[in-house]
Chain A
Amino acid sequence: MDELLKLLQSNALEPRENIARMLNLPLADVNQRIADYEKRGVIRGYQALLNEDKLGLDQVTAVIEVKVTPEREGGFNSVAERVCKFSEVHSAYLMSGAYDLLLFVVGRNLREVAAFVSERLAPLEGVISTSTHFMLKTYKHHGVLMQQDKSDERLSISP
């Protein structure tokens, strides 16, 4: 992967001047390349990575496995696209193995998620079955540990 993308992925707020220094590139090149990536839809957006456990939010996240009958035209895509229209669905993936779609669904409480599954998701045409798991705690998200602040054990000066 382009090193520029890696840098943005680890910190999208890094000043462009610093990125230019790190990559040994002119600032204008960095700006141009980022603009190109945005235009091509390679970069889909920039978000803050939150430690939601610290926010005390009134919400639950469910991981839902969905078995689907693929459609003759469109395969899994048309069902997946329909599922993605629901704002409750934060992430959706097509999987290999015992089920087909993996969804991350957010609701205010268990009952709200249950209602979403039974009233919206399960009745969709093509959906065969669902299996819902509730998330209890986040340890690591997008490569970032949610608990950290470890100290540097090294001597402050060494040869």
Chain B
Amino acid sequence: MSGSPSLRNRINTTVRDMPRSGIRDFFDIVSTMKDVISLGIGEPDFDTPWHVRESTVFALERGVTHYTSNLGYLDLRRALVKYVQKTFGAEYNPDNEVLVTVGVSEALDLALRALINPGDEVLYHEPCYVSYRATILLAGGIPLAVETKAANGFRLTRAMLEAKVTPKTKLLMLNFPNNPTGAVMGREDLEDIAAFARERDLLVITDEIYGELTYDAAHTSIVSLPGLRERTIFLHGFSKAWAMTGFRLGYACGPTELIEAMMKIHQYTMLCASSLAQKAALEALARPESDIAEMLGEYRRRRNFLAASFAELGMECHRPLGAFYAFPSVAKFGLASREFALRLLTEEKVAVVPGTAFGECGEGFVRCAYATSLENIKEAMVRLRRFVARL
């Protein structure tokens, strides 16, 4: 690394010692190349539904350009609790149990900072979204990664958690449907985890940003299980199901004491989420079923196509049940994930993300996002076939 060592030494040590996201690293390589088909994009290829964009423009014309309440517009919070009740089966009070945030990323950061005292341990499962470990560390917590396995459909089990938990463990973080594995937890799987959280008296943060995107069975939220609502912060947002990533709009629902604590940090550091994005979210909640159904059908077809293609190529891939990621094994080719991804990129111009970007246990896997057109996926599979034939 270049630059002044004296400046580097003045950087906060947690930040200084933290590696950059493995995704960022790979992006720098891909962005120098042309005509790459990317299966590395973790956001929908669909545009935000037109009625949402149109109403955002209208809001701008009307001058909705001011600060909002710290918690977010009350009409939005009312619409959110209705949606959460109907879709995820938990009831919240819009006055003090919902906080609108700048994406789920902010909500996650707030939740961790609001709950963690130095030295508190946080259980989370890997492979997982790139920010989990980093945000736990930034909040002063100690990350305890629990490794999920392909053989088990990358689901989390109570036994895995029991093997890691200690008396210092305060929090359990969940993300199902999962990025990067596409894993989903059924009700029975979740009941075991819920019992574990209750018996160990753990708080739970559940990031359900892909909650609408399941392909074979409806999603169950852990927050709907007995005794979980009062110990859980439920996180959700508009990026994935409504294709609104750039709006940066998320929210947290939870018991009033926890939301109040998060709100204090939000108030001092962010003030409020963008007023326009909040209006857009309100419009998005006007007809979620029809907006989402169309995209869901398309994702399902792509998922089926990818799963069939991997099977034809003899690549092991647990069937992705949710989100828009497949996580096939590349171990049998005798290359490390990163090398596989780099060679696939340079030799065939197909970008996938090495599994190691999502935790060390992602070694031996690559993440293929199917948030790209079927045309692209088809061509990517032609190239992948050529590539693996040479290995």
Residues of A within 8 A of B (CB): 3, 6-7, 18, 20-24, 152, 154-159
Contacts and interface: CB of A to CB of B under 8 A. Distances in A.
Nearest to A3: B297
A152 B372 CA distance: 10
Contact of B351 (A18, A20, A23, A157): A157
Classify chain B: how many residues form its interface, as a range: 20 to 34
A154 B45 CA distance: 8
Contacts of A152: 45
Given A7-B301, A22-B301, A22-B374, A159 B131 contact: yes
A3 B307 CA distance: 18
Given A3-B297, A21-B309, A22-B374, A156 B304 contact: no
A155 B41 contact: yes
Interface of B: 21, 23, 26-27, 30-31, 36, 38, 40-43, 45, 129-131, 179, 297, 301-302, 304-305, 307-309, 351, 353, 357, 374, 378
Contact of B308 (A6, A24, A155): A24
A159 B130 contact: yes
B38 A159 contact: no
Contacts of A24: 304, 307-308
Nearest to B28: A157
The 3 closest A-B pairs by CB, nearest first: A21-B308, A22-B301, A157-B27
Nearest to A158: B42
B326 to A, nearest CB: 13
B38 A156 contact: yes
Contacts of A6: 297
A156 B351 contact: yes
A23 B301 contact: yes
A157 B304 contact: no
Given A7-B301, A21-B308, A22-B305, A156 B130 contact: no
Nearest to B309: A21
Contacts of A158: 23, 27, 40-43
Nearest to A21: B308
Contacts of B23: 157-159
Contacts of A156: 27, 30-31, 36, 38, 40-41, 351
Contacts of A21: 304-305, 308-309
A158 B305 CA distance: 22
Contacts of B309: 21
Contacts of A154: 41, 43, 45
A28 to B, nearest CB: 15
B353 A157 contact: yes
Given A7-B301, A21-B309, A22-B301, A157 B38 contact: yes
A159 B305 contact: no
A18 B305 CA distance: 7
10 contacts: A22-B301, A22-B304, A155-B31, A156-B27, A156-B38, A156-B41, A157-B23, A157-B26, A157-B353, A159-B23
Nearest to A15: B378
Contacts of B357: 159
A20 B31 CA distance: 34
A53 to B, nearest CB: 24
A158 B38 CA distance: 10
B378 A18 contact: yes
B8 to A, nearest CB: 25
